[in-house]
Each structure stands twice: as structure tokens, then as C-alpha cells.
Amino acid sequence: MLTLIYSAKQKILIENLVFFVVATTFLVIVGFAWRHLKPFDLVLPLPTWFKTWFMTVQVVGGLLPLIVMVLWGLLWRHSIVLVVFISYFFMIILQGLCEIAILRWFHSITWIMIPYLYLPYRIWQLYEGLTLLNLDRGLIGVRNVLVIEIVLWVLNYAVNLSQLPRLFRWE
């Protein structure tokens, strides 16, 4: 089991790094191509329903996995759970930093593309975590949380798609 965890760690680390390099390169190229477009600022005010959805994503997509990681990963010492969720949180943090850099520093419309790159990868990460955890029958609760997370991020992707006309200020 220990060699499986070690090889899973290596595989996940390499996948994350390759994804980040490819996504960042893509955003830099698109940002350069779109450099002459009008600077982009977030459309405010946000709709009330969006604020509620955003809070739901924070709780279900952030707090719930954190609780699972602490309980199963740290307290009950299932290191594979730590591998899956540390990777998950690492990519969420990188996405956030990327969004901050592109929106606040560069005011680039490229910001809109970030979720369309990171969310499918996040769904893939969760699915991959689900397959890794299928080997351990004692982690049914963690697997259930991963399924909830996959559903959440698929719904969030749909919400992001529905907001494209508003973000691009289409009539």
C-alpha cells in the first residue's frame, strides 16, 4: 500500500505541474493575443443568487473537503486521502492566484477563461482521487464526499457558462 501511495503522489504531482505549465502558457499566449482589447473589470453588482451560489461553493467545495482531509487524512492517518486533497487544494490556490494576477494586476479579459481551464481539471482530479480510494473499503465516506464534489464542480461549470453573456456584457 505504501508504494501505491508513493507512486500516486508522484503521478499526481507530475500531472499538476504539467497542467499548471500548460494552462499558464495558454493564458499567457491568449493574454498576449488579446493585449489590445479594452481592460476588463468585474461586472458589479453581483446578482443575489450568485452570492448565495458562491457561498455554497465555498462551503461545499472548500470547508467540506478540508474537514474530510483533517479527519481521515490527519486524525485517522489515511495518507492517500492527504495526497488527494492536498493536490485538490494546491490547484484551487493556484487558480485563485492566477485569477488575482490576471484580473487585478493586468485587468485582462483572459480572466474569464481561467475557470474553463481549471474546473475540468479539478473534476478530473476528483475522479482520479475516487479511483485511488476505491482500493480502500474503509473510505466510503471520503468517496461519497468526492462524488458530491464532482457534482458541485460540474454544476459550477454550468453556472460559469451561464454567466458568459453577463461577463462579456452582451445584450
Whether the model pTM is above 0.85: yes
User: Going residue by residue through the chain (171 aa), what tens digit of pLDDT does each one get?
Assistant: 556 666 888 899 999 999 999 999 999 999 999 889 888 777 778 888 989 999 999 999 999 999 999 999 999 999 999 999 999 999 999 999 999 999 888 888 899 899 999 999 999 999 999 998 887 788 999 999 999 999 999 999 999 998 888 777 776
Quote the CA–CA distance of 133 and 92 in Å, as a whole number: 21
Phi and psi for 164 in degrees, rounded to 5? -55, -50
pLDDT score, position 62? 97
pLDDT score, position 166? 78
Q: Which three cell numbers stand for residue 146?
A: 468526492
Place of cell 473537503: 65
Structural domains in the chain (count): 1
**Domain residues for 44?**
2-167
pLDDT score, position 42? 76
Amino acid identity of 60? Answer: V
pLDDT score, position 52? 95
pLDDT score, position 4? 60
